Chain A
Amino acid sequence: DAKTTQPNSMESNEEEPVHLPCNHSTISGTDYIHWYRQLPSQGPEYVIHGLTSNVNNRMASLAIAEDRKSSTLILHRATLRDAAVYYCILIQTGANNLFFGTGTRLTVIP
């Protein structure tokens, strides 16, 4: 299974942008890049996903490198409610198992 590498933790000041990096150097052509986040005492929550092009939604933006070996989740203005563990995972059509690593724990400083 293609794996991802993320920093263990990051900090951001409230109302500032946050860029959460993810490396996936062994990504295959059919892997989709998904981001989830997990707030305390909750299950993971879908944030955004993409294949090759950058993506925007109401929660975040996803910037995908041209070679697809890395991606960055962008929170445009961090709020205290964005404090969570953020997971970058690769998903193949037909794959049953999602490999969640330990993710990046984002701390938002008021």
Chain B
Amino acid sequence: GAGVSQSPSNKVTEKGKDVELRCDPISGHTALYWYRQSLGQGLEFLIYFQGNSAPDKSGLPSDRFSAERTGGSVSTLTIQRTQQEDSAVYLCASSLVDRVSYGYTFGSGTRLTVV
């Protein structure tokens, strides 16, 4: 596609339920990032995938959060046993390997509300 696609755009879930958020990066972008943004806050790094390398999971806030990237393309972020503090906009971004020269393309995000 022309841009980074995220689905769903909005998700309301009950506390304790599991949720899956999907990201379709730009074709050919080998790097993929997940961030989250709480209301009025900056972006918080969650996880980074680069090609077939082991992902950088250093930003995941707890073991309830996990992510995978299949075939070097689509990525899914899973949050188990959701808590109210998980409510945020979850943003996905992709980039070419040379990201310092070409920048990052972000999706429009998934707004997660845990009630």
Contact = CB atoms under 8 A, between A and B. Distances in A.
Contacts of A41: 108
Given A91-B99, A102-B41, A97 B59 contact: yes
Contact of B106 (A32, A44, A97): A44
A99 B40 CA distance: 16
A43 B108 contact: yes
Interface string A39-57: 0011111100100000000
Contacts of B59: 97
Given A96-B48, A98-B45, A102-B42, A34 B103 contact: yes
Interface of A: 32, 34, 36, 41-46, 49, 87, 91-93, 96-103
Given A42-B108, A44-B104, A96-B48, 11 more contacts: A32-B101, A43-B91, A44-B91, A44-B93, A46-B104, A93-B100, A96-B58, A97-B48, A98-B45, A99-B45, A100-B43
- What are the nearest 6 A-B pairs in CB distance? A43-B106, A100-B43, A46-B103, A96-B48, A97-B45, A32-B100
Interface of B: 4, 33, 35, 40-43, 45, 48, 50, 56, 58-59, 91, 93, 99-101, 103-109
26 contacts: A34-B103, A36-B104, A36-B106, A42-B109, A43-B4, A43-B93, A43-B106, A43-B107, A44-B91, A44-B93, A44-B104, A44-B106, A45-B106, A46-B103, A46-B104, A46-B105, A49-B100, A49-B101, A91-B100, A96-B33, A96-B56, A97-B56, A98-B33, A98-B104, A102-B41, A103-B42
